[in-house]
Amino acid sequence: MKIAIAQIRVLSENCKQNFETMKSYIELALGQKANLIVFPEMSLPGYFNGDIWEQNSFLRECEFYNNKISELSKEIDIIFGSVGIDWKRKNEDGRVRKYNAVFHAQNGHFQINKKSNYPFWIKALMPNYKEFDDSRYFFDLRKLAFERRCKVIDLYEPISLKVEKKKIKVGVTVCEDGWSQDYDISPFKIYSSRYKHDFFVNLSCSPFTRGKQEKRENIFSKECVKNKIQIFYVNCVGIQNIGKTVFGFDGSSSFYNSVGDVIHLCGFFTEKLSVIDFDFAKKDVINNEKIKCLKTVSLVEETQKSLEYIIQKCLEEWKINRVVIGASGGIDSALSAVIFSRILGPENVYLVNMPSKFNSHLTINAAKKLAENLGCPYASVGIEESINLSVEQLENLKFINAAVQPQMTKLVFENIQARDRGGRILAALAQSLGAVFSCNANKTELSVGYSTLYGDQAGFLCPLADLWKHDVYSLAYFYNEIIYKMPVIPRETLDVIPSAELSAEQNVLENKGDPLIYNYHDFLFRSWVEHWERKTPEDCLNAYVVGTLENMIGCEKGLVRKLFPTVQDFIRDLERWWLNFVESGVIKRMQAPPVIAISPRAYGFDLREHIRKVVFTHTYMNLKKKLID
């Protein structure tokens, strides 16, 4: 039997375009005499569609194209993911009943699941964490079982195919159904315990994050071995966003056999139709293609590949072909320039340096050199005159009938500079070039709001916002050493101390820079955001006391005592940055541009935050009191 695995690029909301893609893949599969083609979860309507699931006209559009797919099944069985609609029943929000469903089209018609009596198979397990909001939109198989006062298994039967007069039973699961370790049922287990399946399919729309492929293979392999089953795992590629966070989908569609082997079928971040022979006797597939998989590349290469893929698709879908970058001579804007140049061609990446009297020749020259190395258009425009005007206007401004008058402070002056660059020059410049401009904030800065709103925090996208500062350096070195094999990012940029250069206190020539100690704070902040059990000052202070902090956060051994000779020093730093993380950090993130997600936990709408004031736990306060008194 020939099975076609269609690792297609799915667009959110665009049923018509997804239908066209699916149609062309079906034709390809027919050309290769496939008996069955399998598409990913929600391949027709897209998955991260926000609240447009509430628009009935969108649901009718989905139904229309669902039906058009079924018409294509005259010579091939088609299994695909889409929304299943029951217009007569309600979701728990009172709107039309929607299921995250799998359709099976055969001989021009949808097959009925005789147990549920729907023309589709229903996802049982609903992820409601991180970027996922399945229960917001979809009614699940467990709820349906509850409603019908029956068991989940009673609503399930395998999909039936007939291939060369042999009856084939295909087990159906959708994405999270395969990740059942924290749920009270395992669909693979219960389905395979009642029915004998020839193989299972798992239709996924599973976003990429670094290191996920390893976990995925681990989980699906184990299910196969445990339940003595075979699984075709079919994931999509492309990007979809949840407003403030953009996710890539890496595909990595694979076949898992019952002894735990993984046969990679379609590769990562690439559209592909893979037609393979399934051997019923061996319950295995024959595939001699050497497919590269994410598990086998280094972390920095995974970062480079995923970042470039996601940003490229972003620009394509948002119809952006020219980007302006404020090139400071520092590492973040340089890395940003490299990435955009690789995607759009350097001729479409406009670098502009905007010096004030605080910018050193070192960084100014580095910015220019970067443009030369990459071949980007380059310009320089000073901000001195404009910031002087702003300062003068502010100092001369007198409110009548007022108790206080404006006071120019160091911080006000620094922010004026940052906003002059971002909000005044870059925004106008980008628009006057028919372009957009990029926000080059990294995750470390974004964590603690070390940026100016409407200044360096502005832009159409934060391409680097899911990279810690040390990731930024690793990737920069990777481009120089491995990709370009020459220092396109100038040595000065790599060697200079990271600095905002907004005052004499941030003079890089005197080796004065940011207040962040990246080899420590990167790891501390990461424990607050990305750790599965998210750490807080209570956890950090506890770990500091018992000497396990470095181990807990994963930074260099011996660093903490070196940086903070006394407990007072440690606490002062901890509270300073926690305050920034919780208070101004959140406020700035709420108005920050969308973030490209590649880590296990990205800002935007993956991590859901609320505006608040710091509240330390009583345990923290007691411990602190004990340590300081």
- The token pair at 121 is 């198979």
- Measured from the CB of residue 254, what is the shortest distance to a copy of itself in angstroms? 23
**Stretch of 133-141, 194-202, 220-228, 493-501 contacting a copy of itself, by CB under 8 A:** 133-141
533 near a copy of itself, judged by CB under 8 A: yes
The DSSP symbol for 10 reads P
User: According to the binding rule CB under 8 A, does residue 147 interact with a copy of itself?
Assistant: yes
Given 164, 167, 281, 385, the residue binding a copy of itself (CB under 8 A): 385
Let me know the angle formed at the C-alpha of 563 by 516 and 518, rounded to the nearest 5 degrees: 25
Residues 167, 434, 562, 626: which binds a copy of itself (CB under 8 A)?
434
Per CB under 8 A, 376 contacts a copy of itself: yes
Q: Quick one: three-class SS letters along 419-438? A: HHHHHHHHHHHHHHCCCEEC
Q: For a copy of itself, which residue of 25, 103, 208, 350 counts as binding (CB under 8 A)?
A: 350
Quote the least distance from Cβ 129 to a copy of itself, whole Å: 4
Nearest distance in Å: CB 610, a copy of itself = 4
State in angstroms the smallest separation of the CB of 216 from a copy of itself: 15
The least CB distance from residue 183 to a copy of itself, in Å, is: 5
The 253-292 contact track toward a copy of itself, x by CB under 8 A, reads ----------------------------------------
The yes or no reply on residue 626 touching a copy of itself (CB under 8 A) is: no
- Asked whether position 432 contacts a copy of itself by CB under 8 A, the answer is yes
Interface with a copy of itself (CB under 8 A), residue from 143, 313, 342, 469? 143
Q: What is the 3-class SS of 259-292, one letter each residue?
A: CCCEEECCCECCCEEEEEEEECCCCEEECCCCCC
Which residue in the set 284, 539, 550, 573 belongs to the binding site for a copy of itself (CB under 8 A)?
A: 539
- If the CB atoms of residues 368 and 512 are measured against a copy of itself, the closer one turns out to be 368
Binding region for a copy of itself (CB under 8 A) out of 22-30, 192-200, 296-304, 395-403: 395-403
Cβ atoms of 559 and 522 closer than 8 Å: no
Distance of CA 453 to the CA centre of its chain: 23
* Dihedral angle over CA of 116, 137, 216, 263, nearest 10: 60
Which residue, 286 or 411, has its beta carbon nearer to a copy of itself?
411
**What burial letters (b/e) apply to 28-37, b meaning 16+ CB within 10 Å?**
ebeeeebbbb
What is the gyration radius of the CA atoms in the chain, in angstroms? 27
Closest CA to 69 of 108, 126, 113: 108
Q: Are 465 and 446 in contact (CB under 8 A)?
A: yes
Q: Of 119-127, 250-258, 295-303, 552-560, which segment contacts a copy of itself by CB under 8 A?
A: 119-127
Q: Which is nearer to a copy of itself, 147 or 481 (CB)?
A: 147
Instruction: Identify the residue among 28, 109, 119, 135 touching a copy of itself (CB under 8 A).
Output: 135
Contacts 24+ apart (CB under 8 A), 408-411: 410/503
**Residues of span 438-467 touching a copy of itself by CB under 8 A:** 453-455, 458, 460
Torsion of CA 319, 322, 325, 327, to 10 degrees: 150
For residue 227, list its beta bridge partners. none
What are 118's strand-pairing partners? 113
The site that binds a copy of itself (CB under 8 A) totals a number of residues, namely: 127
Q: Contact between 406 and a copy of itself (CB under 8 A)? A: yes
What residues from 228 to 247 belong to the interface with a copy of itself (CB under 8 A)?
A: 240-244, 246
Residues 173-202 that bind a copy of itself (CB under 8 A): 181-184
Element (H, E) at 67: helix 56-70
The answer to whether residue 511 forms part of the interface with a copy of itself (CB under 8 A) is no
Find the length of the chain.
629
Looking at 20, 27, 75, 92, which residue binds a copy of itself (CB under 8 A)? 92
Q: List Cβ<8 Å contacts ≥24 apart for 435-438.
A: 435/320, 435/322, 435/323, 435/324, 435/350, 436/320, 436/322, 436/323, 436/324, 436/460, 436/461, 437/323, 437/324, 437/325, 437/326, 438/323, 438/324, 438/325, 438/336, 438/340, 438/462, 438/463
Q: Hunting for tokens 């490299």 — which residue is that?
A: 338
User: Whole-number minimum distance, CB 396 to a copy of itself, in Å?
Assistant: 8
8-state DSSP, 476:
H
Query: What minimum distance in Å lies between the beta carbon of 431 and a copy of itself?
Result: 5
Of residues 587-616, those binding a copy of itself (CB under 8 A): 587, 590-594, 605, 607-613, 615
**Subset of residues 286 to 345 that bind a copy of itself, contact rule: CB under 8 A:** 317-319
